[in-house]
């Protein structure tokens, strides 16, 4: 389903530093094996790696101007600037009900005309006059109230028609005064607010045809490996590429504009060319981050003059992941080649970087969302399952079953919601996707593991999930055999 496991078993080199920028005609020669120690003792702790990725994205976001898009294209994106009213709401005094616009005390003489929504207003009312009016119509000048149809009667049959109230009429009743909701220039929503359907409606009502949102980060995916097939069944040592079909839609769900998914193979020269000429703000590679004979990512980054920000993370699966700054405003996330390890890399490095690039809000996140990477795990044992305990804190829930931990590293484990708890799933090895395909979230298990009942942080998956729903994927027993697989 992904790159062979031997290519993701080591964390790669660390501390490479900034190299002299250059664009040589040929890629760098492989470094001697003695220079490529695994360097796991230098790997970045998982929370720190997430925070570094978020800071890298925030730094790049400062120089990205927002774009104005039609309302229909803004759904699900954050506001790049405050939403201010372009007009008073309502923009004129209007009727809140079907009935009669009246002037002064009753009874009133009824004029033979009607005032309808969307039509020019009626002539001004003199005291003692009434005119039929529809909901939303402009209230005529001189009107002091609107009397609902069901709260009035008319008569007599002959002579001038008079309108009689059936209950007390209070001045201003059932009139929506101009500016009742807001005045021109008033801030309706702050920058960073997520645009949902109601926000679209509010923006339209306030006079907007377009609104400003952060530009979608441009991302290119480079799939490495000569052993990958794009069609058919695995055979003769070849395996299907699982990451190519998965990463583009996943990155799109994280708010990116995916320019292309390109298959490079194990060609260092082609990889160097692709990395140094990409128009993307974020390049995502798969595999090649360890120290094998065809793991070219480190050497290509060295020659390209990149700066390694994260070179290995203390997390399982996926510890050989990396983050590099290519140049001003451009980064590369190197994912391990094993599929679930690659998912771990997406959640650890790509997701917080993209979130910062798109300036997504740090307000409490609904179920199915993820909180800022640097937020602490909620300590409160009494908080509702999967709910933040305070603004800015991540989602968390208690475990139904214990999870075996790595002695030193964080573990990310697919889980499902069950009766207010989260249950670890089987098939959570680094090369497996069966567990994550059925999961509601990824649980963050601290070094040493977590016992039943312990609240753990949850990383959301960027697609709709159904908490409490049954799943065909077996859930783990208290001590799953897969728990010992930490690659």
pTM exceeds 0.75, yes or no: no
17 pLDDT above the threshold of 60 = no
* pLDDT tens digits, one per residue of 300-341: 999 999 999 999 999 999 999 999 999 988 999 999 999 999
Given this model, what pLDDT does residue 476 score?
47
> Torsions phi, psi of 55, nearest 5?
-65, -35
477 pLDDT above the threshold of 60 = no
Structure tokens at 380: 């409160």
Q: Cβ distance 217 to 256 under 8 Å?
A: yes
Place 485 in a pLDDT band, splitting at 50, 70 and 90: very low
229 pLDDT above the threshold of 90 = no
Q: Residue 56 and residue 354: Cα distance in Å, rounded? A: 10
Given this model, what pLDDT does residue 362 score?
41
**Range 366-372 average pLDDT:** 37
Q: What percent of the chain has pLDDT over 70?
A: 79
3-state secondary structure the chain: CCCCHHHHCCCCCCCCCCCCCCCCCCCCCCCCHHHCCCCHHHCEEHHHHHHHHHHHHHHHHCCCCCEEEEHHHCCCCECCCCEECCCCECCCCEECCCEEEECCCCCEEEEEEEECCCCCCCCCCCCCEEEEECCCCECCCCCCEEEEHHHEEEECCCCCCEEEECCCCCCCCCEECCCCCECCCCEEECCCCECCHHHHHHHHHCCCCEEEECCCCEEEEEECCCCEECCCCCECCEEECCHHHHHHHHHHHCCCEEEEEEECCCCHHHHHHHHHHCCCCEEEEECCCCCCCCCCHHHHHHHCCCEEEEECEEEECCCCCEEEEEECCEEEEEECCCHHHHHHHHHHHHHHHHHHHCCCCCCCCCCCCCCCCCCCCCCCCCCCCCCCCCCCCCCEEEECCCECCCCCCEEEEEEEEECCEEEEECCCCCCCCHHHHCCCEEEEECCCCECCCCEEEEEECCCCCCCCCCCCCCECCCCCHHHHCCC
Which carries the bigger pLDDT value, residue 362 or residue 289?
A: 289
Q: What percent of the chain has pLDDT over 90?
A: 64
Q: Residue 443 and residue 385: Cα distance in Å, rounded? A: 13
Given this model, what pLDDT does residue 465 score?
62
**Range 250-269 average pLDDT:** 92
361 pLDDT above the threshold of 70 = no
Lowest mean pLDDT among 24-33, 128-137, 210-219, 398-407: 24-33
Place 159 in a pLDDT band, splitting at 50, 70 and 90: confident
Q: Residue 219 and residue 227: Cα distance in Å, rounded? A: 24
Given this model, what pLDDT does residue 40 score?
47
Lowest mean pLDDT among 58-67, 80-89, 223-232: 223-232
Q: What is the mean pLDDT of the chain?
A: 82
**Range 55-64 average pLDDT:** 90
Place 474 in a pLDDT band, splitting at 50, 70 and 90: low
**Range 259-288 average pLDDT:** 93
Place 466 in a pLDDT band, splitting at 50, 70 and 90: low
Place 210 in a pLDDT band, splitting at 50, 70 and 90: very high
Place 463 in a pLDDT band, splitting at 50, 70 and 90: confident
Given this model, what pLDDT does residue 390 score?
42
Given this model, what pLDDT does residue 393 score?
55
Which carries the bigger pLDDT value, residue 37 or residue 293?
A: 293
Which carries the bigger pLDDT value, residue 477 or residue 447?
A: 447
72 pLDDT above the threshold of 50 = yes
Given this model, what pLDDT does residue 22 score?
34
412 pLDDT above the threshold of 60 = yes
Place 160 in a pLDDT band, splitting at 50, 70 and 90: confident
Sign of the CA dihedral with 379 first, then 385, 386, and 387 last: negative
14 pLDDT above the threshold of 70 = no
Bin 247: left if φ > 0, else alpha if -120 < ψ < 50, else beta.
alpha
347 pLDDT above the threshold of 60 = yes
**Range 271-289 average pLDDT:** 94
Residues with Cβ within 8 Å of residue 195, at least 6 apart in sequence = 74, 75, 76, 77, 78, 79, 203, 211, 213
**Range 143-169 average pLDDT:** 88
């Amino acid at each position: 389903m992904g790159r062979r496991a031997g290519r993701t078993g080591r964390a790669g080199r660390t501390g490479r530093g900034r190299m002299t920028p250059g664009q040589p005609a040929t890629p760098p020669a492989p470094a001697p094996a003695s220079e490529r120690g695994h360097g796991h003792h230098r790997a970045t702790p998982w929370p720190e790696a997430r925070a570094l990725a978020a800071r890298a994205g925030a730094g790049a976001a400062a120089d990205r101007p927002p774009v104005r898009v039609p309302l229909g294209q803004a759904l699900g994106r954050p506001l790049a600037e405050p939403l201010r009213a372009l007009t008073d709401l309502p923009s004129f005094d209007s009727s809140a009900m079907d009935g009669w616009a009246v002037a002064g005390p009753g009874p009133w003489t009824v004029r033979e005309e009607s005032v309808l929504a969307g039509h020019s207003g009626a002539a001004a009312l003199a005291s003692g006059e009434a005119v039929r009016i529809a909901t939303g119509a402009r209230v005529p000048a001189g009107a002091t109230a609107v009397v609902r149809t069901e709260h009035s009667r008319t008569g007599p049959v002959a002579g001038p028609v008079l309108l009689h109230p059936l209950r007390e009429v209070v001045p201003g009743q059932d009139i929506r005064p101009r500016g009742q909701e807001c005045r021109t220039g008033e801030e309706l929503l702050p920058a960073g607010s997520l645009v949902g359907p109601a926000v679209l409606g509010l923006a339209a009502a306030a006079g907007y045809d377009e609104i400003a949102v952060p530009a979608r980060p441009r991302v290119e995916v480079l799939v490495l490996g000569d052993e990958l097939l794009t069609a058919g069944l695995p055979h003769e040592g070849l395996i299907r590429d699982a990451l190519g079909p998965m990463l583009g839609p996943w990155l799109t769900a994280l708010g990116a504009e995916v320019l292309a998914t390109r298959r490079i193979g194990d060609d260092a020269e082609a990889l160097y060319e692709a990395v140094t000429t990409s128009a993307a703000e974020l390049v995502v590679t798969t595999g090649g981050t360890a120290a094998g004979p065809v793991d070219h990512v480190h050497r290509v980054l060295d020659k390209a003059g990149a700066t390694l920000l994260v070179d290995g993370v203390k997390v399982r699966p996926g510890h050989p992941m990396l983050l590099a700054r290519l140049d001003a405003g451009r980064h590369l996330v190197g994912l391990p080649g094993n599929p679930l390890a690659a998912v771990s890399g997406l959640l650890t490095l790509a997701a917080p970087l993209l979130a910062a690039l798109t300036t997504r809000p740090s307000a409490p996140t609904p179920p199915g969302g993820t909180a800022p990477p640097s937020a602490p795990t909620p300590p409160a044992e009494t908080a509702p399952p999967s709910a933040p305990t305070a603004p800015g804190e991540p989602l968390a829930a208690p475990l139904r079953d214990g999870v075996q931990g790595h002695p030193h590293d964080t573990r990310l484990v697919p889980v499902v919601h069950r009766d207010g708890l989260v249950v670890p799933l089987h098939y959570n090895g680094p090369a497996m996707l069966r567990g994550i395909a059925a999961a509601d979230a990824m649980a963050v298990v601290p070094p040493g593991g977590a016992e039943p009942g312990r609240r753990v942080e949850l990383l959301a998956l960027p697609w709709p999930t159904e908490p409490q729903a049954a799943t065909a994927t077996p859930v783990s027993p208290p001590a799953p055999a897969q728990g010992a697989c930490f690659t």
